[in-house]
């Protein structure tokens, strides 16, 4: 469809070309992934508000952060811009996480980084930016902020451009991740560098990021909500937010039971926390608690459970370079986590495990 057929009434302030058409991403043919628009709140969210309200931590606020949110489309526009109106509790400027854009690059044969849209410091209103492209028809993915709230989002294209729905994911049923700030992607430099996004690019699979910084406590209502979602795999990654190993011993088997009761054959991947240094021992009783859920499930004959030992994530000589603060993975750490997770999910999604 030609972009000239869209309503041209939205004209944001800023240094943008005059001859562009601004399109609300809620309109077809744009495809929204990882988030949905809550009409009552007037913004994109990752979880139903009624479920978030049952939690003890910050999920009530953090479910409004758009971690893992993506807008996908195809276009041959010679200019591509975006404009976003952010929420009241905006974490984007605090974490310096804006939007970034990927596109399919024929030279690499895969989705690659194209551009970043980073909000100015102390931003209170909307912001936007844009750039000129090569005008070749290709797939684009606009990654939404990991720690920002997005109320409105528009894409700018040339009026003579074609815009189409995206090439479908090879694996359209999403992988659902539940976990901590590591899962949410707190210290990745940009949203496309969180480990779930890297796995998505490697395996061409959709995903949902239900990482909640400091607040993944495995409340029963949250797990029941997750169990109700359509998914191809469930990745359980909340070790870092459990207060202690005893909490994991209480909650982790229950997480498994709830998911398994709702999805008898769903592949479930259990992950223990990354460990930056080989002489650290804090993680051992926690890892053992998580491994016990896995081993007990296997002993009962469950062939669709998997375990990834977080101590193996940073298995390189310079493992101290993998985090921003001995806890949160930086881009290198995220990439190494993605490598291990990809190896497991590849076998699951392609029927080899």
Q: Residue 292 belongs to a domain with what CATH number?
A: 3.40.50.1110
Residues contacting 281, CB < 8 A, separation 6+: none
Neighbours of 4 (CB within 10 A): 12
CA angle 90, 182, 104 (to 5 degrees): 80
Q: Is 50 left (phi over 0), alpha (psi -120 to 50) or beta?
A: alpha
Contacts of 352 (CB under 8 A, 6+ apart): 346
Where is the domain boundary, 103, 131, 164? 164
Instruction: Indicate the angle between helix axes 331-349 and 195-203, nearest 10 degrees.
Output: 40
Q: Is the domain of 272 the same as that of 321?
A: yes
Is the Cβ–Cβ distance between 77 and 135 less than 8 Å?
A: yes
Query: Tokens in use for 191?
Result: 């949203």
β-pairing verdict for 21-24 and 150-157: antiparallel
**55 and 99, same domain (yes or no):** yes
Give the span between the Cα atoms of 155 and 3, in whole angstroms.
Answer: 11
| DSSP per-residue letters across 305-324 | EEEE-GGGTT-STTGGGSBS
User: What pLDDT tens digit does each residue of the chain (353 aa) get?
Assistant: 777 677 667 888 888 999 999 999 999 999 999 999 999 999 999 999 999 999 977 899 999 999 999 999 999 999 999 999 988 654 444 555 699 999 998 888 889 999 999 887 766 678 999 999 999 999 999 999 999 999 999 999 999 999 999 999 999 999 999 999 999 999 999 999 999 999 999 999 999 999 999 999 999 999 999 999 999 999 999 999 999 999 999 999 999 999 999 999 999 999 999 876 767 788 899 999 999 999 999 999 999 999 999 999 998 999 889 999 888 999 999 999 999 999 999 999 988 65
For residue 330, CA distances in Å to 9, 34, 189, 338 come to 41, 22, 7, 12
Q: Pick from 59, 22, 35, 53: which is nearest to 209 by CA?
A: 35
**Is the same domain home to 131 and 10?**
yes
pTM equals 0.95
Query: Same domain for 71 and 216?
Result: no
How many domains is the chain partitioned into structurally?
2
Which of 100, 132, 164 is the last residue in one of the domains? 164
Domain with 188, as residue range(s), is 171-349
Q: Are 126 and 271 in the same domain?
A: no
| Domain stops at, among 106, 138, 164 | 164
**Distance (Å, rounded) from C-alpha 166 to C-alpha 153?**
18
* Statement to judge: residues 203 and 328 lie in one domain: yes
> Residue 224: enclosing H or E segment and its boundaries?
helix 220-227
Cβ–Cβ under 8 Å, residues 98 and 145: yes
């Amino acid at each position: 469809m030609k972009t000239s057929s869209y309503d041209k009434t939205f004209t944001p302030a800023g240094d943008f070309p005059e001859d562009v058409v601004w399109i609300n991403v809620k309109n077809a043919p744009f495809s929204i992934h990882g988030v949905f628009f809550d009409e009552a709140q007037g913004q994109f969210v990752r979880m139903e508000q009624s479920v978030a309200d049952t939690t003890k931590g910050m999920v009530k606020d953090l479910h409004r952060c758009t971690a893992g949110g993506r807008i996908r489309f195809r276009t041959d526009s010679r200019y591509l811009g975006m404009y976003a109106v952010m929420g009241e509790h905006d974490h984007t400027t605090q974490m310096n996480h804006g939007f970034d854009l990927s596109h399919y690059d024929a030279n690499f044969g895969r989705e690659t980084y194209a551009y970043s849209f980073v909000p100015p410091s102390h931003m209170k209103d909307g912001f936007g930016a844009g750039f000129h492209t090569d005008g070749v028809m290709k797939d684009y993915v606009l990654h939404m902020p990991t720690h920002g709230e997005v109320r409105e989002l528009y894409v700018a294209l040339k009026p003579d451009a074609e815009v189409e729905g995206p090439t479908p994911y090879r694996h359209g049923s999403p992988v659902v991740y539940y976990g901590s700030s590591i899962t949410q992607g707190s210290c990745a430099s940009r949203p496309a560098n969180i480990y779930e996004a890297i796995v998505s690019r490697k395996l061409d699979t959709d995903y949902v990021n239900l990482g909640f910084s400091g607040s993944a406590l495995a409340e029963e209502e949250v797990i029941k909500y997750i169990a109700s979602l359509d998914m191809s795999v469930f990745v359980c990654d909340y070790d870092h937010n459990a207060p202690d190993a005893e909490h994991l011993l209480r909650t982790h088997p229950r997480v498994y039971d709830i998911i398994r009761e709702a999805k008898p054959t769903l592949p479930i991947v259990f992950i223990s926390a990354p460990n930056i240094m080989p002489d650290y021992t804090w993680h051992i009783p926690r890892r053992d608690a998580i491994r016990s859920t896995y081993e007990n499930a296997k002993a009962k004959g469950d062939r669709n459970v998997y375990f990834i030992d977080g101590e193996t994530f940073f298995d390189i000589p310079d493992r101290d370079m993998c985090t921003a603060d001995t806890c949160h993975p930086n881009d290198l750490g995220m990439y190494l986590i993605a490598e291990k997770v990809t190896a497991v999910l590849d076998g699951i999604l392609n029927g080899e495990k």
